[in-house]
Chains A and B, each alone.
Chain A
Amino acid sequence: MTKPKVAFYWCAACGGCEETVVDLAEQILDVVAAVDIVFWPVALDFKRKDVEAMPDKSIAACFLNGAIRTTEQEEMAHLLRRKSQTLLAFGSCAQLGGIPGLANLWQRESVLERVYQECPSNVNLDGVRPSRQYRDNGHSVTLPTLFDTVLTLDQVVDVDYYVPGCPPTPKLLLEAVQALLGGNLPPKGAVLAPDHALCEECPRKDTRPDKLMLTEFKRPHEALIDEEKCLMAQGLLCMGPATRGGCEALCVKGNMPCTGCFGPTSRVKDSGAKALSAFASLVNSNDEKEIAGILGNIADPVGTFYRYSLPSSLLRRKRVEA
């Protein structure tokens, strides 16, 4: 009997999701024993033409990580969708837009200007910018176009399942593979992780007071963080209450507040707005000026509440100036 075929692909992302596969460590042998990896550019030498040559729907499952922000990524998403029975958005970027999605606060032009000209670590005296066409020694290369707006995978192609996280934990990947192999899958569109907020599985859960109200929000470097006590109770903006569980509170166990990479639960339409609504509710004041002061010390609210989810939010991006 032939083994089911599996593909992994990397779009606009840091590569951390690929690490998850590597982090399966010896368990990867179990995966390889059960499936054939037919496409995994980061580790194995396959080319696009190999995929193009495959019959449609011949790949059982494709794990695609990263957001979509170039023409090439868009083409690959369409190609892999066509060749795969099941397409999984793997990790925060593919699911919600992720960190690259914060580029939606700018325009393409200002992004390029920053990266190639303004950035203090750059040496680019001639102000060279990548051009779409490049010729050298009679050879011509065409570079993909960078979009103005970063997209989630499901804004480009139909997605069957989502595996959350920045990056997803190896455990979630393994569970996803097992569910696929066992045909033991939830309804299409599901996020393959628990549907409760992180607090449910947080080791510090019991230390949160019943009636917690806050008069200041601290950033991690501004506090000597107690290792036992609920981070919210210490005035830290822990996104745990507004974030889907499933990571087993990895960051909190490292004494850092949750930053929300698992995204919202299925019941929340816009995770940033929801988190903002929840945290603003905790402000212990009825005085408008005082409230403004307390909320004012949240540095970078969009980057805090929409850190992983701006492209998937109701806002999607900063308004494009006409």
Chain B
Amino acid sequence: MQEPSERGSRASRVGVFVCHCGTNIAGTVDVCRLVEYAGTLPGVALAREYKYMCSDPGQELIQQEIREHGLDRVVVAACSPCLHEKTFRTATAKGGLNAYHFQMVNIREHDSWVHEDKDAALEKAKDLVRAAVRRVRLHQALETKRASINPDVLVVGGGIAGIHAALTLANAGKHVYLVEREPTIGGHMAKFDKTFPTLDCAACILTPKMTAVKAHPNITLWTLSEVTRVEGYVGNYQVNVTRKPRYVLEDLCVGCLECIEACVYQQAKVLDEFNLGLGKRKPIYIPFPQAVPLLVVIDPETCIEFKSHKCKKTCVEICGERNAIDFEQQDRTETIEVGTIILGTGFKVFDARRIPYYGYGTYPNVYTSLELERLVNASGPTGGEVVLRDGRTPKSVGIIHCVGSRDAHTNRYCSRVCCMYSLKLAHLIKEKTEADVYNFYIDMRTPGKGFEEFYNRVAEEGLKLVRGKVADVYPEGNGDGRLVLQVEDTLLGMVRKVPVDMVVLSVGLEAQADAQEVRRMFNITCAGEGFFLERHPKLAPVNTFTDGIFLAGCCQSPKDIPDTVAQAGAAAAEALALIDAGSIEMEPNTAYVLEEVCSGCKTCIPMCPYSAISFLEDKKKAEINEVLCKGCGTCVAACPSGSIRQNLFEDEEIFEEIEGVLTYA
């Protein structure tokens, strides 16, 4: 504060380059006046504009001006640094300067795109440019370093996204850890009967991939497991995986299933999660016959031995010498090191109870679409028969689209798959019951390969399509369980009351309940709806803002199986590209300790998310491992005596920037 800066010398030949970005910037910000203003700032040697600064001629302009006018610093006012910082750093370096003698100003996302008042937008651009010029004059020359990439990959989530990504990587010879929190892999797809629009059997196409995962020598499969800690950085992540007890030893159980038969519970009495409570299971069970791994699992909530310790343990008896059952099993944590991570953590279906007037949970004959998937499934709780809870076959069924989608009270977005799966369910119900099936839709959305053809085909089968949003579902009142759907048919222009035996709610797709915790753990971002945010919606759809962490499937947004598989393949390819490059350039924005003045107070030591800081016992000072440091700045902010500094984020630079923005000129 009162002592003179040790550094302090300011560069004096700054070049400012302002990009029009077509009309993206120039349409709102008066680029000519901005350039004129920039030219008057202290230390600025010249200011130029160009239509597309990121184009080859634009980059060439920067290089040429550096050489011809002896510039010593470069400021580019254009789009987001996420997009083109690297481009312009490279141009700066090609012009003969250090790549970090550069500062980018975002006058597009931060200015022209978010303002309408042109005068105010120009003033804001001036403020931002002034801040950048003041800052860049203090920039130091920095050198980049390279870090190696661990070739092992972590895939989180064993649905079709995780399965496909894991197999792709494993087939390429990479070792994959596939972590799934349920007792089996397969995810939602394993619950489906047929898939739209081809009507091929979900199990027939999924289960071979599931068994391939189990059999693959390059895949370590951990079910009943969750990631509980992630540290490190691209190429070198340290991950803790907590493996919950199955109470059955994986390497001893052979999947003979005799223990299930022998359980003291003669009858299955526990509501079965895999069948969404439509079927029953025993406390010792397998989720479904094609589960992978095909190992039994004991549910400690319902097993008598866990409750009373007085069970006869007929399961242990029949297991005999195999001794695969272990009631003492505890959580254990495995620590693994991987270079890249693919998140395929999927979705949850919308909770239909949130729309009380549809009566889900109140009227027994209201089902969700996922429950219907189980009812129509040959391996489901009814063996594929579509029957009501009382055993009757419905003669009429009403399917309500957009439940928890395209709705201002729940989710505004379209869940993308509901129209198609609703048509598929209509077809399957009709095929199995010959019931009258009504589909109540807002708009029929079939934008995919073979989708419109499928819609036409199902429509021709005699499906009753009603365009309108159902307003109410209520009992007919004569005690036979029939329900009336009240809807304004917008094509007929009248309110209709349609009595049916069964109502199916086509529930939308939502982000997982723990998406926020997962996001924090992996240090990625969520979009407004709670789904994980991709780095760029078009050009980096499977990347995240954290290098080395990729997205696949519905954790990023609702999508169907083909899109999920395509995205999983893309995520695997992105991971492979990193792995095969072998190393990655590290940003030099690392933190460093001023050893001479560090008081050794240790405040910084527990701060570092990358374990890059250690305490030197001999010198009694902190030390930062430059290779491990990711430049997050946490220790810099925490150091109480200001003895940790950070390249590119030196206090002087930041204060210059702040003063630059706030100075009225």
Interfacial residues, chain A to chain B (CB-CB below 8 A): 95, 154, 159, 162, 187-191, 195-200, 205-206, 208-213, 240-242, 244-245, 264-269, 274-275, 277-279, 281-282, 286, 312
A50 and B3 CA atoms in complex are apart in Å by: 33
A205 and B600 CA atoms in complex are apart in Å by: 8
B643 touches A278 (CB 8 A): no
Q: Which of these, A159, A191, A241, A244, contacts B603 with CB under 8 Å?
A: A241
Q: Which residues of A contact B600 (CB under 8 A)?
A: 199-200, 205
Q: Which residues of A contact B645 (CB under 8 A)?
A: 267
Which of B77-85, B453-461, B633-641 is near enough to bind chain A? Answer: B633-641
B605 touches A197 (CB 8 A): no
B601 touches A267 (CB 8 A): no
Q: Which residues of A contact B651 (CB under 8 A)?
A: 267, 269
B13 within 8 A of A: no
A211 and B614 CA atoms in complex are apart in Å by: 10
A267 touches B599 (CB 8 A): no
A197 touches B3 (CB 8 A): no
Q: Which residues of A contact B634 (CB under 8 A)?
A: 281
Given A208-B601, A264-B641, A269-B651, list of 19 further CB < 8 A pairs? A154-B2, A187-B3, A189-B4, A196-B641, A205-B620, A206-B620, A208-B602, A210-B606, A210-B615, A211-B602, A211-B605, A241-B599, A265-B643, A267-B594, A267-B642, A269-B655, A278-B639, A281-B637, A312-B1
With A212-B606, A281-B603 given, is the CB distance from A241 to B3 under 8 Å?
Answer: no
B641 touches A267 (CB 8 A): yes
- Min CB distance A39 to B, Å, is 24
Q: Closest A-chain residue to B606, C-beta based?
A: A211
Which of B599, B603, B606 counts the most A-chain CB atoms under 10 A from its CB?
B599
Which of B600, B642, B643 counts the most A-chain CB atoms under 10 A from its CB?
B642
Interface string of B28-49 (1 = CB under 8 A from A): 0000000000000000000000
Q: Closest B-chain residue to A284, C-beta based?
A: B606
A266 and B4 CA atoms in complex are apart in Å by: 9
Q: Which of these, B605, B620, B640, contacts A274 with CB under 8 Å?
A: B640
Q: Which of these, B4, B520, B641, contacts A268 with CB under 8 Å?
A: B641
Chain B contact-residue range equals 20 to 34
Interface string of B479-517 (1 = CB under 8 A from A): 000000000000000000000000000000000000000
B598 within 8 A of A: yes
B599 touches A277 (CB 8 A): no
- Min CB distance B65 to A, Å, is 35
Q: Which residues of A contact B642 (CB under 8 A)?
A: 264-268, 274
Q: Closest B-chain residue to A266, C-beta based?
A: B3
Which of A188, A242, A244 counts the most B-chain CB atoms under 10 A from its CB?
A242
B638 touches A190 (CB 8 A): no
Q: Closest B-chain residue to A162, C-beta based?
A: B2
A282 and B639 CA atoms in complex are apart in Å by: 11
Q: Which residues of B contact A195 (CB under 8 A)?
A: 3, 597
B607 within 8 A of A: yes
Subset of 21 A-B contacts with CB under 8 Å: A188-B4, A189-B4, A190-B2, A195-B3, A196-B597, A196-B598, A200-B600, A205-B620, A211-B605, A212-B605, A241-B599, A242-B640, A244-B641, A264-B642, A265-B597, A267-B594, A268-B642, A269-B1, A281-B634, A281-B638, A282-B606
Interfacial residues, chain B to chain A (CB-CB below 8 A): 1-4, 520, 594, 597-603, 605-607, 615, 620, 634, 637-643, 645, 651, 655
Q: Which residues of A contact B594 (CB under 8 A)?
A: 267
Closest 3 CB pairs of A and B: A267-B642, A242-B640, A197-B599
Q: Which residues of A contact B4 (CB under 8 A)?
A: 187-189
A199 and B615 CA atoms in complex are apart in Å by: 14
A199 touches B601 (CB 8 A): yes
- Min CB distance B274 to A, Å, is 33
Q: Which of these, B1, B598, B606, B615, contacts A213 with CB under 8 Å?
A: B606
Q: Which residues of B contact A267 (CB under 8 A)?
A: 594, 597, 641-643, 645, 651
Q: Which of these, A191, A196, A264, contacts B599 with CB under 8 Å?
A: A196
Q: Which residues of A contact B615 (CB under 8 A)?
A: 210
Q: Which residues of A contact B1 (CB under 8 A)?
A: 264, 266, 268-269, 312
A200 and B621 CA atoms in complex are apart in Å by: 9
A209 and B601 CA atoms in complex are apart in Å by: 10
Q: Which of these, B2, B607, B640, contacts A266 with CB under 8 Å?
A: B2
Q: Closest B-chain residue to A282, C-beta based?
A: B603
* Interface class of chain B by DSSP: loop
- Min CB distance A170 to B, Å, is 23
A278 touches B602 (CB 8 A): no
A265 touches B641 (CB 8 A): yes
A191 touches B3 (CB 8 A): yes
Q: Which residues of A contact B599 (CB under 8 A)?
A: 196-200, 241, 245
A281 and B639 CA atoms in complex are apart in Å by: 9
Q: Closest B-chain residue to A205, C-beta based?
A: B600
Q: Which residues of A contact B605 (CB under 8 A)?
A: 210-212
Q: Which residues of B contact A269 (CB under 8 A)?
A: 1, 651, 655
With A196-B597, A199-B601, A269-B655 given, is the CB distance from A278 to B2 under 8 Å?
Answer: no
Q: Which residues of B contact A240 (CB under 8 A)?
A: 601
Q: Closest B-chain residue to A152, C-beta based?
A: B2
- Min CB distance B138 to A, Å, is 15
- Min CB distance B142 to A, Å, is 20
Which of A206, A281, A282 counts the most B-chain CB atoms under 10 A from its CB?
A281
Which of A162, A196, A198, A267 counts the most B-chain CB atoms under 10 A from its CB?
A267
A281 and B644 CA atoms in complex are apart in Å by: 15
A241 touches B640 (CB 8 A): yes
A75 and B2 CA atoms in complex are apart in Å by: 23
With A196-B598, A269-B655, A282-B603 given, is the CB distance from A191 to B640 under 8 Å?
Answer: no
A265 and B606 CA atoms in complex are apart in Å by: 22
Q: Which residues of A contact B597 (CB under 8 A)?
A: 195-196, 265, 267
A136 and B460 CA atoms in complex are apart in Å by: 111
Q: Which of these, A95, A189, A208, A209, contacts B3 with CB under 8 Å?
A: A189
- Min CB distance B282 to A, Å, is 38
A194 and B640 CA atoms in complex are apart in Å by: 15
A95 and B2 CA atoms in complex are apart in Å by: 9
A206 and B600 CA atoms in complex are apart in Å by: 9
A241 touches B641 (CB 8 A): yes
Q: Closest A-chain residue to B622, C-beta based?
A: A210
A211 and B4 CA atoms in complex are apart in Å by: 34
- Min CB distance A192 to B, Å, is 11
Q: Closest B-chain residue to A281, C-beta based?
A: B638
With A189-B3, A195-B597 given, is the CB distance from A281 to B602 under 8 Å?
Answer: no
A275 touches B640 (CB 8 A): yes
Q: Which residues of B contact A279 (CB under 8 A)?
A: 640
A281 and B620 CA atoms in complex are apart in Å by: 21
With A242-B641, A281-B638 given, is the CB distance from A212 to B602 under 8 Å?
Answer: yes
Which of B599, B605, B640, B643 counts the most A-chain CB atoms under 10 A from its CB?
B640
Q: Which residues of A contact B606 (CB under 8 A)?
A: 210-213, 282
Q: Which residues of B contact A189 (CB under 8 A)?
A: 2-4
Q: Which residues of A contact B598 (CB under 8 A)?
A: 196
A198 and B634 CA atoms in complex are apart in Å by: 22
